[in-house]
Amino acid sequence: MNILVLNCGSSSIKYQLLDMAQTPVLLAKGLVEKIGLPMGNFTHKPEGKEKWTIEQPIADHTVGMDLILKALTDTNHGVIQSLDEIKAVGHRIAHGGEYFSHSVVITPEVKEKIQACCEIAPLHNPAHLKGIETMERLLPEVPQVAVFDTSFHQTLPEKAYIYGIPYEYYSEYKIRKYGFHGTSHKFVAEKACQILGWNITKKKIITCHLGNGASITAINGGKSVDTSMGFTPVAGLVMGTRCGDIDSGALLYICDKKGLTPAEAVKLTNKESGVFGISGASSDFRELEAAVENGNKRAELALDVFAYNVKKYIGAYAAVLNGVDLIIFTGGIGENNISVRKAICNGLSYLGVNFDEKANQVRGEDKIISAPDSRTLLMTITTDEELVIATDTLNLVK
Ligand code: AMP
């Protein structure tokens, strides 16, 4: 059964087509970029065939989706004969607010709720809705499923999600911590327990999703009990270009000094900050490490700040959980960056962590990176959010 997984952004569409029969197989993946700009890009990577790229103006999401569907069925670059072979579509939805604690089949009522969350996720949900409505037009008979970044964190206790501001802002405007990257945190925790033969309901796990966006989650008995991102994904760790936790007073002071509008403040904290803002060099950890090699002190500082923040959250979440059995590293940095993992894991002996430097020499694998006598285990686990979306979609439409 072929399932199309879509992640629609305001000017981009990421997609994967997976055959979910027995063992899931990736058939094709790709990316439409620069929708609405004078010149757009389309990259299509069919498995076992050459990559195909097109440069042309892509006026809107309908044009972008049309390109994708044509590529999937193209005689030279395609992987299926006809669109009838797509049995369901799974959408990654950034924000489900308090409405969704699970993935759901998309109905008019579900769309209304996703729409209602546009106010608190103006950068993401409107684009997701566009993607859903485009697919409804292009593939009207095909069921669609919504998988939310926030739903795994709906188990957070009130004390973890209420902010220290007047309660009316929660009751009237739903200002609270929601958390994101839920599909990834859930997936890697469950995968690690499967590998270890552990019963997740009896374990305390800290998952570190460290990519360009980064967040940490405390998972008790398989349920998210705290997470570092907040009302928006800008909170928590210092990230590639997001600032992470910052004194709200400092931000207001900057806004006052520079006369920033709210939109400009959003741009500053989301696009111009993080390790990019600190280093002035790059948001990419490989480039930062190359800059450090060339003696760039601010790049060194940026990496130090990042590792320090992750370590601090691990400590906080070990306290939340009253101990920890397993710490997982995932995401581009968590899976691949040996030196950042080392910087984070040095000095965790108080938690019963015995970091194994040799075992840590690993990239893109599911592996234990703590010594055999380590009371708390460390693991690298590769995440696969598209697979989670496809699996949830399959289970809901089957
Ligand atoms: P993501 O957003 O999960 O794709 O992660 C992107 C981040 O992962 C970037 O900062 C990359 O530099 C980093 N990354 C990806 N692959 C590697 C690698 N092989 N070694 C070091 N860092 C990597």
pLDDT for 122 equals 86
Q: What whole-number distance in Å separates Cα of residue 158 and Cα of residue 153?
A: 11
124-161 residue pLDDT tens: 899 999 999 999 999 999 999 999 999 999 999 999 99
pLDDT higher than threshold 90 for residue 221: yes
Quick one: average pLDDT of 234-255? 97
pLDDT higher than threshold 90 for residue 97: yes
186-212 residue pLDDT tens: 999 999 999 999 999 999 999 999 999
pLDDT for 390 equals 97
Quick one: average pLDDT of 103-116? 97
Cβ of 212 less than 6 Å from ligand 1: yes
CA of 340 to the centre of ligand 1 (A): 11
pLDDT higher than threshold 90 for residue 34: yes
- Rounded to two decimals, the pTM is 0.94
Cβ of 334 less than 6 Å from ligand 1: no
pLDDT higher than threshold 90 for residue 398: no
238-248 residue pLDDT tens: 999 999 999 99
Amino acid at residue number 324:
V
Cβ of 286 less than 6 Å from ligand 1: yes
19, 60, 74, 149: which one is catalytic? 149
pLDDT-derived band at 376, boundaries 50, 70, 90? very high
pLDDT for 365 equals 97
- The number of the ligand 1 atom at minimal distance from the alpha carbon of 363 is 19
Quick one: average pLDDT of 13-25? 94
Mean residue pLDDT of the chain comes to 96
pLDDT for 328 equals 98
CA of 21 to the centre of ligand 1 (A): 31
> Could you tell me if 332 and 341 are in contact, meaning their C-beta atoms sit under 8 angstroms apart?
no
Q: What whole-number distance in Å separates Cα of residue 117 and Cα of residue 128?
A: 11
pLDDT-derived band at 21, boundaries 50, 70, 90? confident
Cβ of 331 less than 6 Å from ligand 1: yes
pLDDT higher than threshold 90 for residue 165: yes
Cβ of 284 less than 6 Å from ligand 1: yes
Token representation of residue 224: 């998210």
Give the SS3 label for residue 7. Answer: strand
pLDDT higher than threshold 90 for residue 123: no
Amino acid at residue number 380:
T
pLDDT higher than threshold 90 for residue 110: yes
245 catalytic per annotation = no
CA of 275 to the centre of ligand 1 (A): 13
Maximum CA pair distance of the chain?
60
Quick one: average pLDDT of 33-48? 95
pLDDT higher than threshold 90 for residue 22: no
> Could you tell me if 2 and 19 are in contact, meaning their C-beta atoms sit under 8 angstroms apart?
yes
310-345 residue pLDDT tens: 999 999 999 999 999 999 999 999 999 999 999 999
Residue 29: name the closest of 81, 86, 79, 92 by CA. Answer: 79
